[in-house]
Amino acid sequence: MNTDTLNVSTVESKPFDDQRPGTSGLRKSVKEFQQPHYLENFIQSIFDCLATCVGKTLVLGGDGRYYNRQAIQIILRMAAANGFQRVMVGCGGILSTPATSCVIRKYQADCGIILSASHNPGGPKGDFGVKFNIENGGPAPEKVTEAIFKRSKEITQYKILQSADLDIDKIGTQPLGNLTVEVIDSVADHQQLLESVFDFDQIQALLTSGKFRMCFDALHAVTGPYAHAIYENRLGAPSGTVRSGIPLEDFGGGHPDPNLVYAHELVEIMFAKNAPDFGAASDGDGDRNMILGNNFFVTPSDSLAIMTANHRLIPRYKDGIHGVARSMPTSKAADRVAEKLKVSCFETPTGWKFFGNLLDARLASLCGEESFGTGADHIREKDGSWSVLYWLNILAARKESVEQIVREHWLTFGRNYYSRHDYEEVESERAHAVVDGLRAQLSGLKGRKFGQDEIEFGDDFSYTDPVDSSISDKQGVRINFTDGSRIVLRLSGTGTHGATIRLYLERFEPDRLRQNRQTQEALADLIDIADELGQIRKLTGRDKPTVIT
């Protein structure tokens, strides 16, 4: 690159000590990202960890939250100053996380940057985030994010091109110094890929039959344009099927997290009289999903298991799957399906990046986590649109209701009663006291009895990657009981204030006559045991969780 003719500035800066990426990149409040040099330092740290930027192609986009457009202009100018040859950016700055992965893979780009804090709130007082994806389309592995963090602690300057903002609202190419900026259709590539996975004609017949109604809530986040294009325009669902379909910088004042608490408007619709047959929602950046039937909620763990059990109904998987993978806190419902299908089932730490190696090595075809994320080997991210279409394809093929499909699954495989209790924004010292207290008890838990429940073992989950042999320690405290029940506790890395304690509870019920209890009732004994062992209420000062899903 000839920088002599370009107006490139080298800006002196000082390191920030808080730029360690979490499971899904660097997430902070908008105000923190707006500090002078903060975003620029982190982006330069990413670029400095590449072997070279010269001649490379970068994919860039975000979920449309506040500060998205400004950050894109900064990153474009920094890409130009650092020698990138091409940047592909979503029109209007909009590009969902799964769509970004799709574009990286389709065009063999070298890397991608996704601007999102996923399901966290947006707006000037909300959160912002930056995630770096590698050439396979997946999130950067730990060795890469650690290198970025190390670089962020020693960086003293960054490079940026001095220029006016580009028009990112018009599809086409335009120069920025020696960089070619290509503004692309945000939806087209991802939709084309999804059409190759599913039977769109079969789904269209269902949605236009006049006997089936669906409701999709985009929560004013990134999936609005995707949902309008796919469900209404391509598949023929009536206008109005998609709710809150216009991305807004503050998500309309809502919380773009597709669960029973934050997607309450959709829940009210689906649990009302004359409810639609099928409901779904997605999150801020489009990778998570919630599935609902008429007056019926499908837990994410059950969703993964049912997808696995019905995979041959999906054109891409009609000849079988290599295996299935789930995050450690996700229920073991998928394990029981995998055992019956005689395919491998992998248990990984939380974080989609751990699935990438399994997918690349063709050890797994389907993946899922209890935090409302499912996906597969078509890309290297979880994919909310893929998940909704997967369910629609199953419904179209089986011609049964959501509830019928789930209850039949329980009759065949047993029911895993499952729930997650979140204690959000807990003071960090208090949250760590809960985890440390549990860890201190692990060696003496075996054989302890609480009524009918006897502990089989307790440990702190450690994962050895079967592909590259990398080791990830301290991934969550597990307490397993002799009847297959589990208590899992870990701290989440997706929040920006304090710490979030996530408590996971699971009880397996093979008895068909005991599969219709309310979930919290079925788990009541485990909830009490978890509080007795972890002293959660006492140490946090909270009398109940913030969110129960």
Q: Enumerate the active-site residues.
A: 118
Closest CA to 523 of 376, 391, 444, 421: 421
* CA atoms of 165 and 77, how far apart (whole Å): 9
Burial 171-192, CB ≥16 within 10 A → b, else e: eeeeebbbbbbebbebbebbbe
List, in sequence order, every residue forming a beta bridge with 181; answer none if it has no partner. 87, 174
In 289-359, the DSSP E strands lie at 289-293, 296-298, 323-327, 344-348
Q: Which amino acid appears at position 295 of this protein?
A: N
* CA atoms of 89 and 272, how far apart (whole Å): 41
* CA atoms of 472 and 390, how far apart (whole Å): 31
Angle at CA 391, nearest 5°, toward 385 and 393?
A: 100
* CA atoms of 248 and 64, how far apart (whole Å): 7
Closest CA to 331 of 448, 417, 203, 451: 417
CA-to-CA separations, 531 to 437, 440, 493, in angstroms, rounded:
12, 15, 22
In 124-199, the DSSP E strands lie at 127-133, 157-161, 172-176, 179-184
Angle at CA 40, nearest 5°, toward 38 and 46?
A: 110
- For residue 492, give the DSSP letter: E
* CA atoms of 512 and 414, how far apart (whole Å): 7
Q: Residue 73 class from Cβ within 10 Å (0-12 exposed, 13-18 middle, 19+ buried)?
A: middle
CA-to-CA separations, 428 to 423, 497, 532, 534, 548, in angstroms, rounded:
12, 9, 20, 15, 21
> How many CA atoms lie less than 13 Å away from 523 in the CB half-sphere?
24
Coil, strand or helix: which one is 502?
Answer: strand
